[in-house]
Amino acid sequence: MGIRKLLLVFIPTLFMVGKSGQAQFINYTTKEGLSSNNIEHISEDDDGSIYISGYHGLNIFNGTDFTVYNQYNTEGFSNEISCALPLKKGFVLIGTLDKGLFLMDKYKQKIVPVNLSSIPSNSTIAISVLFLDRSNNVWIGLKDGRIITFSSSVVTKQTSSERTIISSLVTKTTMDIKTFVETDHSILAGGNESRITRIKKEAKNYIIDYPIELLEISQVSSMITLENSLYIGTNRGVFKLDTLTKIDHKVPVHIEASWKLNSSIIRSISIHHDNLWVGTEGDGLYKYTPRGKELEHFSYLENKRNAINSNYALYTLVDSNENLWVGTWFGGINLLNLNEKNYQFVYDSKSEINLFSNICLLYTSPSPRD
């Protein structure tokens, strides 16, 4: 005679689900050693270390632990870190909002202030953004609208002792510079106005013009290129310029309508496998194809374990190991492994809300009668 076996088992285990499942984020907050849960910028160096900037210091993650540098443990340093730009040979440029530019020697674990030759030494500058182009030139955007550049090759061990970098003042705009992007022949800069500034170098001179105008926009926070298109994150959604060659025309390009998320404030755009990850201010995190198909939308849900823990996704970075780092307001860092073909549910006894989500039902069907 056949038997039926019914077994309820409580198993703290790992389940794999398909695309219909919710992707699982790892959350890092002040409980794990971050100096703050409000994140402004994330970058990665050649060794895979992650640099996390915020208003309570610079955090460096080595894969296991966070090391924090701020004005309380590093003489002369700042708490108001806007961005960090890793260079070669262990050097890292650090932009601050209250004390200008710093240089870190990663291997000596030393941070010193540095002056820019194009800025009077007695003046304080507020740095909004640091950018490295394909020719290894550093571009600095200031809150007062100035754009400064220099070759990263001038940053050497001697710089740490001399504390001066030979730089050039490119231009003074009317906006707080928020973002840079490089095209084939120029650097584009965006900020808190509707125009995109273009910088082209000819011989020793810089040619400045405004090839793109966005309708009813007051801020450009991010720009990125993909497949010869330009994607622009603004306070009224993502705008798209289909073909970058259009900006080479003598007449400025006017883009009247947003491409996606016209009611969202866009803060960051990153690319992974030709898809766009879009971080918003208050509406969570989105994933789009270049043609505009929405693939995913992640938003905060109260008591949802292993989910994104803030709708303010202010900065995104895809690192060399194909991890997506999402810096948030109030939620610290959210980390998603983009290598996973299937999303995974991870058991976490500390944050477990629904006890029965870890119950497995094992059922054995009847055996055939003899």
Residue 348: its pLDDT value, please?
Answer: 40
Could you tell me the two tokens for 59? 């955090």
pLDDT given for residue 15 in this prediction: 37
Closest CA to 230 of 238, 240, 220: 240
Q: Do residues 190 and 225 touch, judged by C-beta distance below 8 A? A: no
- pLDDT tens per residue, the chain (370 residues)? 444 443 444 344 433 333 434 578 999 999 999 999 999 999 999 999 999 999 899 999 999 999 999 999 999 999 999 999 999 999 999 999 999 999 999 999 999 999 999 999 888 899 999 999 999 999 999 999 999 999 999 998 888 788 999 999 999 999 999 999 999 889 999 999 999 999 998 888 999 999 999 999 999 999 999 999 999 999 999 999 999 999 988 889 999 999 999 999 999 999 999 999 999 999 999 999 999 999 999 999 887 878 899 999 999 999 999 999 999 999 999 999 998 654 443 334 344 343 333 333 333 334 444 4
The 10 Å CB-count burial string (b at 16+, else e) for 75-99 is eebbbbbbbbbbbeebbbbbbbbeb
Structure tokens at 26: 């790892």
Spatial contact of 45 and 364, defined as CB atoms under 8 Å apart = no
Instruction: Supply the pLDDT for residue 341.
Output: 52
Is 226:290 a contact under the CB 8 Å cutoff? yes
- CB 241 within 8 Å of CB 232: yes
Q: Strand pairing partners for 67?
A: 60
What is the distance between the alpha carbons of residues 172 and 146, in angstroms, rounded to a whole number?
Answer: 4
Pairing outcome for strands 253-255 and 205-214: parallel
Give the distance between the most distant pair of CA atoms in the chain.
Answer: 96
CB–CB of 88/152 below 8 Å? yes
Angle ∠(39,226,210) on CA atoms, nearest 5: 80
Percent of the chain with pLDDT over 90: 76
